[in-house]
């Protein structure tokens, strides 16, 4: 069934009627308004919707039934009298719909983006459209190299393929999917809901859970790669070691190493780095680390043979990875000793473990507009709806606890959850309640972390680690914690962006010399002056600290890069290079905005900042701002050759 062919409903109305019972009433109401333009449904539902999540909707049963019955009739009418569906609303009606869905003011900033994002997936408005398509012979003579076949590299490859631009992907792993191939630790999964964490042009209505685990995510990306036949153009087990720009030829030479250690060169007009930033495991600099006698493993480089069953396990690190590993292995270990340097804020989510009912999957796949409105609700709950909670209000008192009123409400909510889980007088509370405002470090979803902490075989150790010995871990107070194995959940070398590749641009300048002191910068997180035709996907200041997901960011960036390539190819330029002043102004603005965000709070450590304290990794903007900035290409920002 396509989005406008609803005739199957006419032959089997009962399936539709039954499935609607499994769908979220607020989302159904938004579909109803989209199809009818009838504003009165918004007026009736609004008082009962306090936020975008399903558990924030409290409509009375009779209103829910009316919505389902009315939508059923409207859809049946389309089934019996086939005709085009109405377009996505605009203007004030769309704003009212967005605000009712979000349960909060949203504003007109979102209208243009949502008119795009609410389009059915088969329309795919983020694809590149030629203004004056160059002859195929010209395209055939052009070559793009993509480094990495992960989330962003795959997105780029799909767009290049759609545009008819030849490309080769060089991938160090044996398969596609990047992070979802590499991360295979127990409990690994997303903490952003899947119906938002998926390509806008490749929706998956069959996710088994709202928050899928790693294998299902991996299968999704593998399936997308197969559907678009990306493997044919990918050289696996091939690691890029250097990229060198030839000033005379205006082309890049990309040197790569095969699995057997031999090297080869490829020639390219354009290089897209799509290597991500969270993929090189970071081991802690603890004295004696190498002396440990038992097996060790890092979450980011898990060994499938690592066996934790019945063992005394020391786990160092309590970030997003540690929070997933701990509760997963705790029931099977003899003892789990968790070494926590600093606590994280942890938010409960009633849907975190939830399975998606078959009826809901059916509605997502078959009821027009439902999946897209649901995606908006998730976008608001897990991304831009949170942004204002992270801006420092200079007049807010006691900035060590919270930084504005909304942020304070988050604090109260999470503290209450911790107390409910652990007991109001639990001695653990002192260890787990962070001494910094919510969102100062990456927020985590409660993965039964607190339930795990209450288990008799689990210790939460907050004394600093002084050394590691062959027998185990020794803390600052002199206690030895004997262990059979150590799990390092200590994160990634985020600030070593693009390492260990050597990227040499114009005037033989090396990118890592330009980015002194781990200080990566790029215009829109994508282009660096002096590195013509070199684009960085998920580059500096594109990580997400307020929410959102890398797929959304990749789609925005790839669209922007495709506009750059269109300019090159249509206007017959050899290369483009971002102007230094444009880059510098952008970076200055990013820094200015970051100074007013919670993660710049003094005394905090997080992977967003480099050793000098500059926030190099994450975006200060709302996603809608980044979408807007990357949805147009301004030739004036670049020098062309």
Helix (H) / strand (E) containing 445:
strand 444-445
| Interaction of residue 598 with ligand NAP, rule CB under 6 A | no
From candidates 186, 319, 438, 440, binder to ligand NAP by CB under 6 A? 319
* Per-residue contact flags (x/-) with ligand NAP for residues 139 to 158, judged by CB under 6 A: --------------------
Q: Which stretch binds ligand NAP (CB under 6 A): 7-15, 187-195, 390-398, 414-422?
A: 187-195
Q: Which stretch binds ligand NAP (CB under 6 A): 254-262, 320-328, 352-360, 454-462?
A: 320-328
Helix (H) / strand (E) containing 257:
strand 251-257
3-class SS at 276?
A: coil
From candidates 71, 157, 190, 582, binder to ligand NAP by CB under 6 A? 190
| Interaction of residue 13 with ligand NAP, rule CB under 6 A | no
Closer by beta carbon to ligand NAP, 187 or else 529 = 187
| Interaction of residue 431 with ligand NAP, rule CB under 6 A | no
Q: In the bound complex, what is the minimum distance in angstroms from residue 55's beta carbon to ligand NAP? A: 20
| Interaction of residue 318 with ligand NAP, rule CB under 6 A | yes
List C-alpha distances in Å: 98 to 63, 105, 376, 501. Answer: 20, 8, 8, 44
Q: Which residue is nearest to ligand NAP (CB)?
A: 319
| Interaction of residue 489 with ligand NAP, rule CB under 6 A | yes
Closer by beta carbon to ligand NAP, 442 or else 512 = 442
- CA dist 436 and 430 (Å) reads 13
Helix (H) / strand (E) containing 111:
helix 111-117
Contact 559, 272 (CB under 8 A): no
- CA dist 207 and 223 (Å) reads 13
Cα 237 versus chain centre, distance: 25
Smallest CA-to-CA distance from 462 within 470, 453, 414, 419 is with 453
| Interaction of residue 278 with ligand NAP, rule CB under 6 A | yes
Q: In the bound complex, what is the minimum distance in angstroms from residue 539's beta carbon to ligand NAP? A: 16
Closer by beta carbon to ligand NAP, 278 or else 590 = 278
- CA dist 289 and 246 (Å) reads 44
| Interaction of residue 191 with ligand NAP, rule CB under 6 A | yes
Closer by beta carbon to ligand NAP, 190 or else 452 = 190
CB environment 199-232: b (16+ within 10 A), e (fewer): bbbbbbbebebbbbbbebbbebbbebbeebebbe
From candidates 30, 156, 316, 565, binder to ligand NAP by CB under 6 A? 316
Count of residues in contact with ligand NAP, rule CB under 6 A: 26
- CA dist 590 and 611 (Å) reads 18
| Interaction of residue 461 with ligand NAP, rule CB under 6 A | no
List C-alpha distances in Å: 303 to 215, 296, 309. Answer: 15, 9, 14
Q: Which stretch binds ligand NAP (CB under 6 A): 202-210, 232-240, 374-382, 490-498?
A: 490-498
What is the binding site for ligand NAP (CB under 6 A)? 189-191, 278, 284, 286, 299, 316-322, 324, 339, 341-342, 442, 465, 489-492, 605, 607
């Amino acid at each position: 069934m396509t989005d406008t062919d609803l005739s199957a409903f006419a032959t089997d109305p009962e399936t539709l009627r039954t499935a609607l019972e499994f769908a979220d009433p607020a989302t159904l109401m938004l579909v109803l308004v989209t199809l009818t333009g009838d504003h009165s449904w918004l007026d009736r539902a609004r008082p009962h919707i306090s936020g975008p999540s399903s558990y924030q909707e409290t409509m009375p049963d009779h209103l829910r039934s009316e919505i389902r019955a009315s939508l059923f009739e409207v859809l049946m009418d389309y089934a019996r009298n086939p005709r085009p569906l109405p377009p996505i609303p605009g203007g004030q009606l769309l704003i009212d719909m967005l605000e009712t869905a979000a349960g909060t003011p949203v504003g007109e900033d979102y209208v243009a983006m949502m008119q795009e994002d609410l389009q059915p997936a088969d329309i795919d408005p983020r694809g590149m459209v030629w203004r004056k398509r160059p002859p195929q012979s010209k395209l055939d003579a052009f070559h793009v190299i993509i480094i990495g076949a992960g989330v962003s590299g795959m997105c780029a490859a799909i767009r290049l393929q759609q545009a008819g631009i030849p490309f080769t992907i060089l991938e160090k792993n044996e398969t596609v999917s990047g992070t979802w191939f590499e991360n295979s630790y127990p409990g690994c999964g997303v903490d952003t809901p899947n119906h938002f964490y998926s390509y806008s042009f490749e929706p998956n209505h069959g996710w088994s859970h709202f928050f899928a685990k790693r294998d299902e995510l991996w299968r999704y990306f593998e399936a997308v790669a197969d559907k678009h036949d990306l493997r044919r153009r990918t050289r696996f087990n091939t690691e890029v070691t250097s990229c060198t720009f030839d000033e005379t030829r205006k082309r890049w030479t990309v040197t790569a190493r095969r699995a057997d250690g031999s090297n080869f060169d490829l020639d390219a007009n354009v290089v897209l780095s799509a290597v991500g930033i969270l993929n090189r495991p970071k081991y802690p600099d603890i004295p004696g680390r190498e002396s440990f006698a038992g097996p060790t493993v890092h979450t980011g480089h898990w060994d499938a043979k690592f066996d934790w069953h019945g063992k005394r396990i020391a786990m160092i690190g309590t970030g997003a990875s540690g929070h997933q590993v701990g509760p997963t292995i705790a029931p099977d270990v003899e003892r789990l000793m968790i070494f926590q340097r600093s606590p994280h804020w942890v938010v409960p989510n009633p849907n975190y473990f939830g399975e998606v009912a078959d009826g809901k999957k059916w509605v997502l796949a078959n009821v027009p507009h439902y999946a897209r409105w649901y995606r908006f609700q998730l976008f608001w709950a897990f991304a831009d709806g949170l942004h204002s909670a992270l801006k420092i209000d200079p007049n807010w008192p006691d900035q060590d606890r919270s930084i504005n009123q909304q942020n304070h409400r988050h604090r109260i909510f999470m503290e209450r959850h911790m107390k409910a889980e652990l007991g109001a007088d639990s001695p653990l509370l002192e260890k787990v309640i962070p001494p910094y405002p919510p969102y100062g470090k990456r927020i985590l979803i409660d993965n039964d972390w607190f339930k795990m902490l209450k288990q008799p075989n689990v210790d939460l150790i907050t004394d600093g680690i002084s050394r590691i010995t062959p027998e185990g871990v020794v803390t600052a107070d002199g206690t030895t914690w004997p262990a059979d194995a150590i799990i390092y959940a200590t994160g990634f070398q985020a600030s070593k962006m693009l390492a260990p590749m050597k990227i040499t641009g114009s005037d033989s300048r090396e990118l890592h010399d330009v980015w002194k002191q781990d200080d990566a910068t790029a215009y829109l997180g994508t282009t660096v002056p002096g590195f013509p035709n070199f684009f960085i996907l998920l580059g500096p200041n594109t990580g997400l600290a307020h929410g959102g997901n890398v797929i959304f960011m990749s789609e925005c960036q790839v669209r922007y890069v495709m506009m750059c390539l269109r300019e090159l190819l249509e206007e017959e330029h050899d290369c483009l290079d971002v102007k230094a002043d444009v880059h510098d102004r952008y970076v200055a603005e990013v820094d200015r905005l970051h100074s007013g965000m919670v993660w710049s709070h003094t005394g905090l450590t997080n992977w967003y900042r480099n050793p000098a304290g500059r926030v190099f990794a994450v975006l200060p903007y709302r996603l809608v701002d980044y979408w807007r900035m990357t949805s147009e290409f301004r030739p004036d920002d670049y020098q062309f050759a």
